[in-house]
Homo-oligomer: A and B are copies of this chain.
Amino acid sequence: MADNLFGQHISKQFDTELEDIRTRVLAMGGLVEQQVADAVSALVGGNRELAETVIERDHEVNALEVAIDEECTQVVARRQPAAGDLRLIMAVIKTITDLERIGDQAEKVARMGLHLAERERPKSQYIEIQHLGARVQQMLHHTLDAFARLDAEAAITVTSEDEKVDAEYDGVMRQMVTFMMEDPRLIKRSLDVMWSARALERIGDHSKNICEYVIYLVKGKDVRHISLEQMKKVARTES
């Protein structure tokens, strides 16, 4: 599928530019993945220092978004790309917005980690956040894989992982409400856990958005706001 999109331009320079954009998006993705992993591990381990590192590094994510955005606009202006190339650039512009917002959510988790490090630790050691975090990290990783390989089928499979993230999230929320009702002294701590779970759930949503851009990019069809069934139909059609 990737062959339609790359490698057949008159200008070799243009190929290099597109490849460079893609590489930078993947680098941004790698950084964001690291931020999410570090944020979860800082919260779960009560590691204040690591939480602070995540918060500080968020500006690197932001800077990458601005730089890639600028590069995309310049390439459009200079190369006047058509069809597949333009789709690539449009998908990149949207993808980096979601990556930047995943970075924001990682920062939020890290901030909650700082709060929670101040409080007495529960017996569970925040195992529920560890589980949800692991699932979300996996989903994000698969998303970036699908983007790297421009694999629409994989993107659809990842999209369906979001339901599992949501189910796990709902479980955490119910558990926290129970804790709060049983012991009002746990209200503040439980709220911090809820906000962290919420941030992780949002990362699942952003990953799903990116998968939809990958499908759009490969298939040329906008699959936002349609059902998983309809999406599978699109992926099965030839692009």
Q: Are A86 and B76 within 8 A (Cβ)?
A: yes
Q: Are B225 and A66 within 8 A (Cβ)?
A: yes
Partner of A62, one of B66, B76, B177, B225: B225
Chain copies in the assembled complex = 2
Whether A55 is near chain B, meaning CB under 8 Å from some CB there, is no
Bound: A180/B93 CA distance, A: 43
Q: Which residue of B lies closest to A194 (CB)?
A: B191
Bound: A73/B86 CA distance, A: 8
Which of A82, A90, A93 has the most chain B CB within a 10 Å cutoff?
A: A90
- A203 → chain B, closest Cβ, in Å? 15
Q: Are A222 and B66 within 8 A (Cβ)?
A: yes
Q: Are B97 and A73 within 8 A (Cβ)?
A: no
| A75-94 to B contact mask, C-beta < 8 Å, 1/0 | 01100101100110010011
Partner of A187, one of B69, B70, B94, B181: B181
Q: Which residues of B contact A66 (CB under 8 A)?
A: 222, 224-225
Q: Are A222 and B70 within 8 A (Cβ)?
A: yes
Whether A184 is near chain B, meaning CB under 8 Å from some CB there, is yes
Q: Which residues of B contact A224 (CB under 8 A)?
A: 62, 65-66
- A63 → chain B, closest Cβ, in Å? 7
Whether A188 is near chain B, meaning CB under 8 Å from some CB there, is yes
Q: Which residues of B contact A83 (CB under 8 A)?
A: 77
Q: Which residues 76-116 of A have a CB within 8 angstroms of B?
A: 76-77, 80, 82-83, 86-87, 90, 93-94, 97
Supply 5 A–B pairs (Cβ within 8 Å), ascending by A: A66-B224, A66-B225, A77-B86, A177-B188, A187-B187
